[in-house]
Amino acid sequence: MFLLYFVNFFTYSIKNIFYFSSAPLQKSLWSTANLLSSFSKPILEIYSLVQENNELKKENQKLLSQLAIFQSQERSTAAQKEISLFSQDKKFDFIMADTIGLEEDDILSINKGLADGVLENMPVVTKEHVLVGRIFKVYRNFSKIILVSNKNSVVNAKVIKEDNSFSNIKGVIKGKGYLEAYLDLIPIDSEIKIGDVLVTSAIERFIPKDLLIGKIINVQRDDQKPFQQAQISLFWDVKDLDNLFVITNYKR
């Protein structure tokens, strides 16, 4: 027991050494597995369909991202336009990081740490502006990201209607674990539908607004409860999270 207490004084250094020394191997294993998993997909599905689907997904995400911008612009004054997602792109500084591992509890490891300027609570996005999570533990040469799907993750979100009509519906996205999440705390009188898109809300302290999160795939409504819930499909797949971007200068 005493030995364990003693060892834990050096946890930070021990973990950093192990991650730093095994990062190249982990990165190559991650890429190999990514390649192999994409090869194995045709066994279950027709290859062309998978490719087409992936392209459509990316295109859809870009369109949704643009939609989020347009909706934001529509609602805003000229001054507010300056802080739309498109301009955020130019305003924010990013650090590109490679994913090196995934833990059981929906925690992702990346190969950038304190030495590269990564700090706790910085938001992490994909290149399509999809929110992946935020940094929760930083070591010298690597960091851990708490994914949106982690059971401890709670992100304020707003609903963008599928038909682009204005909506002021807000809720929270809670992680379910096993790379899944759900939408909660939507007032019972708010109308949400399958296909509605969820983006980050402006009330988040560490996360910029209008970042894409996911899409509603099933609404669970019980008139006896004050709030309704919805199952959501996140816009990222852990297998595609090879490169991530840490936003380093977002502050409210």
Partner 1 sequence: MLKRNIVIIVSFYILAILQNSFFSHFTILGTAPNLIFSLFFCLVFFSLPTQVFANDKRINVYYQIIFYAIIAGLFSDIFFSTYLGPSIILFTAIGILIKKTQLLLRVGRDNYPFSHFIFLFLIYFILYQSLFMMYICFIDPLHIPVDFNFKIILSAFYSLFLSLLGFWSIKKYVKKI
Binding site for partner 1 (CB under 8 A): 4, 7-8, 11, 14-15, 18, 22, 25-27, 29-30, 32-34, 36-37, 100-105, 109, 137, 150-152, 177-180, 238-239
State the burial class of residue 73 (Cβ atoms within 10 Å of its Cβ: 0-12, 13-18, 19+): middle
Q: How far is the CB of 1 from partner 1 (least distance, A)?
A: 9
Is the CB of 98 or the CB of 162 nearer to partner 1?
98
Written as one letter, the residue type at 129 is H
Is the CB of 162 or the CB of 240 nearer to partner 1?
240
Q: How far is the CB of 154 from partner 1 (least distance, A)?
A: 12
**Whole-number Å distance between alpha carbons of 71 and 225:** 31
Is the CB of 45 or the CB of 191 nearer to partner 1?
45
Is the CB of 67 or the CB of 102 nearer to partner 1?
102
Q: How far apart are the first and last CA of the chain?
A: 44
DSSP label of 92 = S
Helix (H) or strand (E) holding 100: strand 94-103
Strand boundaries in 104-188, DSSP class E = 107-110, 123-125, 131-138, 143-147, 154-160, 170-177, 180-187
Is the CB of 81 or the CB of 151 nearer to partner 1?
151
Q: How far is the CB of 150 from partner 1 (least distance, A)?
A: 7
Rounded to 10 deg, the angle between the 11-44 and 47-75 helix axes is: 120
Q: How far is the CB of 158 from partner 1 (least distance, A)?
A: 25
Is the CB of 14 or the CB of 203 nearer to partner 1?
14
Q: What are 136's two structure tokens?
A: 């929760």
**Whole-number Å distance between alpha carbons of 160 and 64:** 9
Q: How far is the CB of 210 from partner 1 (least distance, A)?
A: 28
Q: How far is the CB of 138 from partner 1 (least distance, A)?
A: 13
